[in-house]
A = this chain, B = another copy of it.
């Protein structure tokens, strides 16, 4: 973890203890409500700072921002201004929220600027260009290899040499809170002679984090591991819903397709990579040594606590998994360097997810597939419920936060309820 102490900051905004949205975080999101059209805000405590009102009131004077840059239905144009500008905006907001700064605190527009978070409807924060999903947890890849291939040789030969990844479907990525219908699809269970078409019987989640790219490259160009973080705007929680029966039948030889593309859910607030800087640490030792284009001198892993809860309809949520982003074998700089090593171009608003974040212990596995070990060991919930996979009416809740020296920077949550097949 980064050794420099975090300077202590206090704010005039009332921030509940254990809020993910501390003065140190200040994530970006897009929101609207009955009275307000889509606009960009920054979360603090239970409030949203409406950046469009701040802008109208002249708080960003002399920053030469394009007119109406905060009255948008996505962050893309704001992100495209570049890190120098978006960092300045975030720092300006941080300064305006400091306890000893009266500029906004004592301003007549304060009431209009500070929106109650509960009253806001959060929108998908970015228009996603291309979406890539990696497979970067060695524990997850090993678990899957043990279940479906060879317990003695669970990892495929390429796994330790490159961050395996694949292209996913961007159109079906939705914001937290959006319900998703159980998908139908083709499957052929081991006891079936011929495949059938119907509702998935093995619906699962995958606990992931995803980063959003903030800078484009040209076709033919590559990004080095050292440069990679300049291209990362921020992170969201990512639930990569998966229909295991559909996936198992379709995935050879070209990979997951309809077993994934019926929906993925992301958290609404984009936590900037700058806010996560204090929580960086070195990742696991990589053995064998990676090829030069995947090496880096710097730390690119993050200490982010993660958990998953299942809430059956009308019942209490039960925590079923506790994991940490630090477990990832391949880090974000390696993912981005590998992704562009062939000259593949990236755009502002691309999304790259980590793959399931499983830890080393059985209670840290990031999917039902692993937690119930292919459905053989039911997972106990409160109220006498148990689950092998996700049932209709269940809401899956993922949470994540980093904490150090009593300072907390978190993601809030990504939730999604599974509705019956349509």
Residues on A lying within 8 angstroms of B by beta carbon are 129-130, 135, 156-158, 161-162, 164-172, 174, 180-181, 183-186, 188, 194-197, 219-222, 243, 246, 249-259, 261-263, 288, 291-293, 338-339, 341-347, 350, 422
Which residue of chain B lies nearest to A259 when distances are taken between CB atoms in the complex? B342
Q: Which residue of B lies closest to A170 (CB)?
A: B130
| Cβ contacts under 8 Å, A197 to chain B | 291-293, 341
**In the complex the two chains form, is B164's CB within 8 Å of A250's CB?**
yes
Q: Smallest CB-CB separation from A355: which chain B residue?
A: B254
* Alpha-carbon distance between A365 and B30 when the two chains are bound, in angstroms: 50
* A124 CB, nearest partner CB in chain B, Å: 12
How many copies make up the complex?
2
Cα A259 to Cα B172 in complex, Å, equals: 25
Q: Are A258 and B338 in contact (CB under 8 A)?
A: yes
Q: Are A250 and B158 in contact (CB under 8 A)?
A: yes
Residues on the B chain within 8 Å of A250, using CB: 158, 162, 164
Q: In the complex, A169→B262 CA distance in Å?
A: 18
CB A271 to nearest CB in B, in angstroms, measures 24
Nearest chain B residue, comparing its CB with the CB of A289: B194
Min C-beta distance of A157 to chain B, whole Å = 8
A196 to B341 CA separation, bound complex (whole angstroms)? 13
Q: In the assembled complex, which residues on chain B have CB atoms less than 8 Å from the CB atom of A342?
A: 183-185, 243, 246, 258-259, 261-262
User: With contacts A161-B195, A183-B343, A259-B342 known, what are 17 further pairs, Cβ within 8 A?
Assistant: A156-B253, A158-B252, A162-B195, A164-B254, A165-B257, A166-B257, A167-B169, A167-B257, A171-B344, A184-B343, A194-B288, A221-B422, A246-B342, A251-B253, A254-B256, A258-B338, A262-B343
Docked-complex contact A219 and B174, CB < 8 angstroms: yes
With A195-B291, A263-B219, A342-B243 known as contacts, the answer to whether A252 contacts B171 (CB < 8 A) is no
Q: Is the Cβ of B291 less than 8 Å from the Cβ of A156?
A: no
CB distance from A279 to the nearest CB of B (A): 29
B251 & A171 in contact (Cβ 8 Å cutoff): no
Contact B347 A158 (CB under 8 A): no
- Minimum C-beta distance from A367 to chain B (A): 15
Query: Lowest 5 A-B CB distances belong to which pairs?
Result: A255-B255, A183-B342, A166-B254, A167-B167, A261-B344
A228 to chain B, nearest CB (A): 16
Contacts of A166 in B (CB 8 A): 166-167, 254-255, 257
